[in-house]
Amino acid sequence: MIKVINVVKTFDGFRALDGLTMTAEKGSIYGLVGPNGAGKSTILRHIMGIYRPDSGSVLVDGDQVYENPAVKARIAAIPDELYYFNSASTRDMMRFYRGMYPNFDAKRYEALASTYAAEYYADDYYINVPDPDTPYFERIKLPLVLEEVLPDRSAEEGSGLAYETGKLRHGNANPESEDFDSLADFIFAGDYVELRLPWQLLNFSNPSEMQIHDDYYQHYGIENLSIREIYAGAGDGPGQRIPMEAFPLEGWGKRPASHERLKRSYYILRDYWAALDGKA
């Protein structure tokens, strides 16, 4: 059981948590819903023992979490943005987490490391390093299930359940339109095509300062590379050479302008909760 009791947390005069109290029963699934700045990530970091509350308590099965390695060793979390130490390889990160978690399964790590690429790509790209200047489009797959079976080494296609990350969805992403589709990636408009792509799909690590991830196979870790242009091309079928053309980039600087746009689900939940408050 997770218990949060009257937790207060302030950052530079901003009170991110103001006497929060909540309980997540054992075996339950607990969702946190709210707009940006509501404190969702802040309370999760308290539960993981990253933040120390200004006041109040965070308990897991009755024990304080902060500075309690025995409790932290039983907590697992997947952040919204994965983080690796600069220049760290997957094996470096394995050693780091193995030192934190006494029950870390090194044998399972080695099994996944040796079969992962072959399971989803029918190849091991750390043995057969891809051509860095290939003119061919390579599909990138996101694993959905890490299967425990060994793949068929003679297979030409991977057998693991995966989602093709580069597969784009047609639709209208304008929230003011009647046919609005929040998952849309591209739309045909007159004599041009409008694309809306996540910057991480284009290998950017810091788009505001025009930095991308450098060659993983060369550095075997995370390295940023500054660029001033990006090459792009288009094709109409698989297995063809795609001509590429350089397009200059314009960075946003370290303080890019932004504005908040809430999803329709926010207003639906807001009205729902307001109706519940009216009945109370």
Q: What confidence tens digit (pLDDT) does each residue in 153-189 have?
A: 455 555 566 667 667 889 998 888 888 888 888 998 8
Do the beta carbons of residue 147 and residue 172 sit within 8 Å?
no
pLDDT above 70: percentage of residues in the chain:
72
CATH 3.30.230.10 fits 2-72, yes or no: no
Do the beta carbons of residue 58 and residue 48 sit within 8 Å?
no
Name 204's bridge partners.
Answer: 212
The structure's pTM equals: 0.43
In the block, residue with structure tokens 């901003």:
14
- Amino acid at position 212, single letter: I
- Which pLDDT band holds residue 139 (cuts at 50, 70, 90)? low
What is the structure's pLDDT at 136?
64
Q: What confidence tens digit (pLDDT) does each residue in 19-63 have?
A: 999 999 988 888 898 888 889 989 999 999 989 999 999 999 999
Distance CA 280, CA 275 (A): 9
Burial letters for 149-164: b for 16+ Cβ neighbours within 10 Å, e otherwise? eebeeeeeebebebee
Q: What confidence tens digit (pLDDT) does each residue in 59-94 have?
A: 999 999 998 888 888 888 887 776 667 666 677 778
pLDDT at 236 over 70: yes
What residue segments make up the domains of the chain, in order of their start? 2-72, 90-164
User: What are the φ and ψ backbone dihedral angles of 3, each rounded to 5 degrees?
Assistant: -125, 125
Do the beta carbons of residue 32 and residue 40 sit within 8 Å?
yes
What is the structure's pLDDT at 160?
60
Mean of the per-residue pLDDT values of the chain: 79
Output the CA–CA distances (angstroms, integers) from residue 226 to 83, 134, 214, in the order listed.
19, 21, 9
